[in-house]
Amino acid sequence: MSVTIEKLLRDNGVILEGHFLLTSGLHSGLYFEKFKILENPKVSALLCSKIAIHFSTSGIEKVIGPTTGGIILAYEIAKQLGVFAGIAEEPEVGKRIIKRGSGIKEGERVLVVDDVLTTGGSIRATIDAVLERGGKISGVAVLIDRSEKSLNLDYPFYAVYSKVVENYPQEDCPLCKKNIPLTRPGGKKAVPSAEC
C-alpha cells in the first residue's frame, strides 16, 4: 500500500528532491510539500480516511491538530469519525494551548493529528496542551513521518506514509559539498550553494 501512497504523493507534487533548508536550520535532500496535500480536498480526504479507518475502533471523541495544517486534517478526520475537532494554537508565550471554544472534557479520548512529523515538536506541544485540559490521548497520527528516529511517544502511533530522511547540519551537508543549489521551501527562491 505504501508504494501506492508514495506514487500519489509524487504525482501530486508532495515529494520533492533537491537540496532544501528546513525550518529547523538543517539541510535535506528530500522535502515534503504538505500544502500540495492540504490544497487538494480530494487527496486530503483520501489520506485522512486512512487515519480515520485506523482509529475507527479506538473510541475517539475529539480530534485535535496544531495550527495551521494540523487543524485542516483534524477537521477532516473528525468529520469522517463523526466527532468534533479542535485546535492547539501557538500563542506568543511559546506553548500550545487549546482555546476558541475547543473545550476538552476531563477524560475525553483525543486523537492528536498533524501533517508532517520531523522532530516531533508540534506533536509533543499538542499532546501537552490536551493533557493540560484533562484530555486522554488515545492516539497520534500524521500523514507523513519523515523522522530519523522513533520519538517514543507512549501512545498508539500511525503514519499514512513513512520515509526515513537524513538531515544534515550545514557544516556536514554532502549536498553543500557538491555545490547543489540550496532552496528555502515555502515559495522562497533558491540561494547559491556558496551560502551553504
One domain for residues 5 and 80: no
One domain for residues 84 and 63: yes
One domain for residues 69 and 129: yes
CA angle 36, 18, 121 (to 5 degrees): 60
One domain for residues 26 and 110: no
One domain for residues 69 and 128: yes
Q: How far apart are CA 72 and CA 34, in angstroms?
A: 12
Q: pLDDT by residue (tens digit) across 34-70?
A: 999 999 999 999 999 999 999 999 999 999 999 888 8
Domain CATH for 58: 3.40.50.2020
One domain for residues 131 and 180: no
One domain for residues 54 and 110: yes
Residues 11-21: what's their mean pLDDT? 94
pLDDT for 37: 93
41 found inside a domain = no
pLDDT for 193: 46
Dihedral over Cα of 171, 193, 27, 176: its sign: negative
One domain for residues 140 and 175: no
pTM recorded for the entire structure = 0.86
Query: What does the block give as the cell for 6?
Result: 508514495
- Give the pLDDT band (50/70/90) at residue 188: very low
One domain for residues 155 and 170: no
Domain of residue 191 covers: 1-33+166-196
> Over 50: is that where the pLDDT of 141 sits?
yes
Closest CA to 2 of 166, 165, 162, 164: 162
One domain for residues 27 and 69: no
One domain for residues 141 and 54: yes
- Give the pLDDT band (50/70/90) at residue 120: confident
Domain count, the chain: 2
Other beta carbons within 10 angstroms of residue 131's beta carbon come to 13
Q: pLDDT by residue (tens digit) across 150-174?
A: 778 889 999 999 998 999 999 999 9
Which residues fall within 8 angstroms of residue 78, CB to CB, at 6 or more apart? Answer: 62, 63, 84, 85
